[in-house]
Amino acid sequence: MNVVSSYLILAAILFCLGLYGALTKRNAIIVLLSVELMLNAVNLNLVAFAKWGIAPSLTGQIFSLFTITIAAAEVAVGIAILIAYYRSKATSDVRDMNSLKR
């Protein structure tokens, strides 16, 4: 078992935790946090392959920097939407967020 495997396993665990949270949690904030967790698991993969991959290069690390930036922006937008939604509907439960159904 080489070094990269332990990174990958950690990332996989993190990703699954995030996925589980995103699919099961009722609070939209928690769902947003879980999505962040999944993104960070991906970042971990990128960094691990950039160091220990077959052809190591700096590209992976730079890529993960971009991801972190975009994730920050995404969270900002997401939180803004949630606040706006809470103001109008007085709820942050994802089960109630189905008004686009029809």
Partner 1 sequence: MEAVYAQYAWLVPLFPLIAFLILLAIGRTTSRVGPIIGVLAAGASFVWSLFVLFEQMKGDGMGYVWNDLEWIRAGNFVLEMGFEVNPLNALMLAIVSFVSLLVNLYSIGYMKDDARITVFFSYVALFTFAMLALVISENVVQLYIFWELVGLCSFLLIGFWYEKPEARAAAKKAFIVTRVGDVALLIGILLLVWNMPGHALGFTNIANAFANGEIAGGTATLIAILIFIGAVGKSGQFPLHTWLPDAMEGPTPISALIHAATMVAAGVYLVARTYPVFEASSDALQVVAYVGAFTAIFAAIIALTQRDIKRILAYSTISQLGYMMMAMGIGAYAAGIFHLFTHAFFKALLFLAAGSVIHALHEQDIFKMGGLWKKMRLTGWTFAIGGLALSGIIPLAGFWSKDAILAEAYHSQPVLFWIGLITAFLTAFYMARLFFAAFTGPAETDDAARAHESPAVMTIPLVILALFSIGAGFVNIPGSERLAAWLTGEAPSDHSSVLVIVLSNVVAVAGLLLGWLMYGKKAVPQDWLSGRAGWLYRLSFKKFYIDELYEYLIVRPLRVFGYFLHLFDEFIIDGIVRLLAGITVGLGRTGTRLQNGQLQTYGLVSLLGIVILAVAFVGWRFVVNAG
CB under 8 Å to 68, separation ≥6 — which residues? 43
Residue among 38 and 44 whose Cβ is closer to partner 1:
38
The least CB distance from residue 61 to partner 1, in Å, is: 27
CB under 8 Å to 70, separation ≥6 — which residues? none
Is the alpha carbon torsion for 21, 24, 27, 29 positive or negative? positive
Residues at the site binding partner 1, with contacts judged by CB under 8 A: 19, 22-24, 31, 94-95, 97-102
User: Residue 82 and residue 91: Cα distance in Å, rounded?
Assistant: 9
The least CB distance from residue 102 to partner 1, in Å, is: 8
Residue among 19 and 47 whose Cβ is closer to partner 1:
19
Residue among 22 and 50 whose Cβ is closer to partner 1:
22
The least CB distance from residue 59 to partner 1, in Å, is: 26
